[in-house]
Structure 1
Amino acid sequence: MSKQLDVSYFPLLDYAEAWEMQKSLVKEIDGAKRNETLLLLQHPATFTIGSQKHPEHLLWNEQQLRDKGIAVFEIDRGGDITYHGPGQLVGYPLLALDAENMDLHGYLRNLEQVIINYLAKFGITGGRKPEYTGVWVGNEKIAAIGVKFNKRRQRRGFITSHGFAFNVASGIQHEGFTGIIPCGIEEYGVTSLEDCTGQRFAVQDVARELLPCFVEVFGYEPVIEGGLV
């Protein structure tokens, strides 16, 4: 029988609030006080800088950031700098990886596979680049991935946090992405679901439609807590 996965969607959630929520949920899941959880959401315009800190990859100065209303957070996930904003579906899986399923690289590949399987529904070939984490359509990145593996307290294993950012809205690559070198990658561009299909999508609908791809890859039974009904 599949394990239950609590799933919630938030139309717009401040980054700091979402980060604190993840930390709290990780502790609850580690203590067996709640089910493993998937948060699906959008953030206001935000830059996040992961553990591979490269200040030179942030191209805008403090005045430009204020003028554009973009917050900046140095956070505890892997990876370099990326952009979050409206029109992008962010997913934070908080999953227990115990001794029998502690393939950490395999976890990243599974996150990529969720997006790849979803894109295939529209006839889009999503792929990987061996040197980079994420999902690509040709030479343009459509989904960035950066995670943290939180060590469990009472048993061997990890609880995952952070996750994926899937570009949905057309033109998102011309928003905050122009203020950074995304993930420190200069030679390739960024694209979105709408740009690849020529269709228009509500991010909430994409979250609802992507969920079956997630639970199929990871083997869960979803329990919808809010936002996707």
Structure 2
Amino acid sequence: MSAPPSYVLRDLGTLPYRDAWALQRELHAQVVDGTTPPTLLLVEHPPVLTLGRKAREGTNIIVTRAYLEAQGIEVLEVERGGDVTYHGPGQLVAYAIFPVGRRVVDFLRLLEDATITALHTLGLDDARPNPGYAGVYVEPRAVNGHTYDQKIASFGVAVKRHVALHGLALNVTTNLAHFDLIVPCGLTDTQMTSVEREYDRRGATRTASMAEARTALADAFAATFEPYDWTLPQFAAVGS
């Protein structure tokens, strides 16, 4: 898994959310100061709920804090955009600490493009954006007469001093039952899915693998982000 020379890829393995969050903030300060190159972190977390700036705990977390504590699921308020989401084993999280300047929407589109490319590599050719929503989806599915969007990757970023942090979470072999504890991202017409579930639904003979997903996402980032110079205060196409 190699990255273009204008950014660094670090695979953290499994790390508690608080530790990865502290590392993000440390790297963010260094990228802002120009002492560290833009950095992409790949990581897997123990179970945790994070509340973005739009989160309303009484509405979109549908169980008590006591219940979550008994299940060993921490709840943290973070500075990213978006609502409430779940991180846990079997979910590949990518934190992209990159200088984006004012091109925040363009940066989000690149994150989507890289994730979609990775999912196509993993055999999910229907992976796509959903206009008006952040994230990556597969084809909607009818359940008991109601059609639900099927979300496989969630997005949430913060931009401070023109440098992004946080990023995306791709469900690979995630325990999807944990999403029943919340209204994911505050979307009531959306169900969460995973690479593993989509393989099962389609009768695929292949097995969902975190190692394979890591390679696919790292390679997709390299291909998607390579045309841009990430050493600039605001990214631009190489040679522009």
Residue by residue, what CA displacement relative to the aligned partner does 1:144-197 show, whole Å, maximum 9, x if unpaired? 00000111xxxxxx1110000000016x221x2010000001111111011112
Match of 2:163 in 1: 159
The Cα shift of 1:51 comes to: 0.2
The alpha-carbon distance between structure 1 residues 117 and 41, as it changes in their structure 2 partners (threshold 3 A), is same
Does residue 1:72 correspond to 2:53, yes or no? no
Residue by residue, what CA displacement relative to the aligned partner does 1:12-42 show, whole Å, maximum 9, x if unpaired? 1111111111110011111111111000000
Match of 1:203 in 2: 210
Match of 2:55 in 1: 53
For 2:98 and 2:199, locate their aligned partners in 1 and report how far apart those are by CA, in whole Å. 31
What secondary structure is seen at the aligned counterpart in 1 of 2:53? coil
Runs of 4+ in 1 over 2 A off after TM superposition: 197-202
The alignment's C-alpha RMSD in Å is: 1.6
Check whether the contact 2:44–2:93 (CA below 8 A) recurs between aligned residues.
yes
Unaligned runs of 5+ residues in structure 2 are 140-148, 201-205, 229-240
For 2:130 and 2:208, locate their aligned partners in 1 and report how far apart those are by CA, in whole Å. 26
The Cα shift of 1:220 comes to: 7.0
The Cα shift of 1:65 comes to: 0.6
The Cα shift of 1:123 comes to: 4.3
Percentage of matched positions with identical amino acids = 31
Report matched runs for 1:47-196 at 5 Å.
47-55=49-57, 56-98=59-101, 102-121=102-121, 122-138=123-139, 139-151=149-161, 158-169=162-173, 172-174=175-177, 176-196=178-198
Check whether the contact 1:4–1:220 (CA below 8 A) recurs between aligned residues.
no
For 1:118 and 1:150, locate their aligned partners in 2 and report how far apart those are by CA, in whole Å. 28
The Cα shift of 1:205 comes to: 3.0
The alpha-carbon distance between structure 1 residues 129 and 68, as it changes in their structure 2 partners (threshold 3 A), is same
For 1:140 and 1:215, locate their aligned partners in 2 and report how far apart those are by CA, in whole Å. 26
What secondary structure is seen at the aligned counterpart in 1 of 2:188? coil
Check whether the contact 1:3–1:220 (CA below 8 A) recurs between aligned residues.
no
Unaligned runs of 5+ residues in structure 1 are 152-157, 222-229
Residue by residue, what CA displacement relative to the aligned partner does 1:71-117 show, whole Å, maximum 9, x if unpaired? 0001000000000000000000111124xxx3211111111111111
The Cα shift of 1:3 comes to: 4.1
Residue by residue, what CA displacement relative to the aligned partner does 1:35-54 show, whole Å, maximum 9, x if unpaired? 11000000000000000021
Q: Which amino acid aligns with 2:199?
A: T
For 1:217 and 1:37, locate their aligned partners in 2 and report how far apart those are by CA, in whole Å. 15
For 1:148 and 1:123, locate their aligned partners in 2 and report how far apart those are by CA, in whole Å. 28
For 1:67 and 1:27, locate their aligned partners in 2 and report how far apart those are by CA, in whole Å. 35
Check whether the contact 2:150–2:193 (CA below 8 A) recurs between aligned residues.
yes
Match of 1:40 in 2: 42
What secondary structure is seen at the aligned counterpart in 1 of 2:185? helix
Q: Which amino acid aligns with 2:22?
A: E
The Cα shift of 1:125 comes to: 1.1
Q: Which amino acid aligns with 2:7?
A: L
Q: Which amino acid aligns with 2:184?
A: P
The alpha-carbon distance between structure 1 residues 137 and 85, as it changes in their structure 2 partners (threshold 3 A), is same
For 1:220 and 1:109, locate their aligned partners in 2 and report how far apart those are by CA, in whole Å. 14
TM-score when normalising by structure 2: 0.83
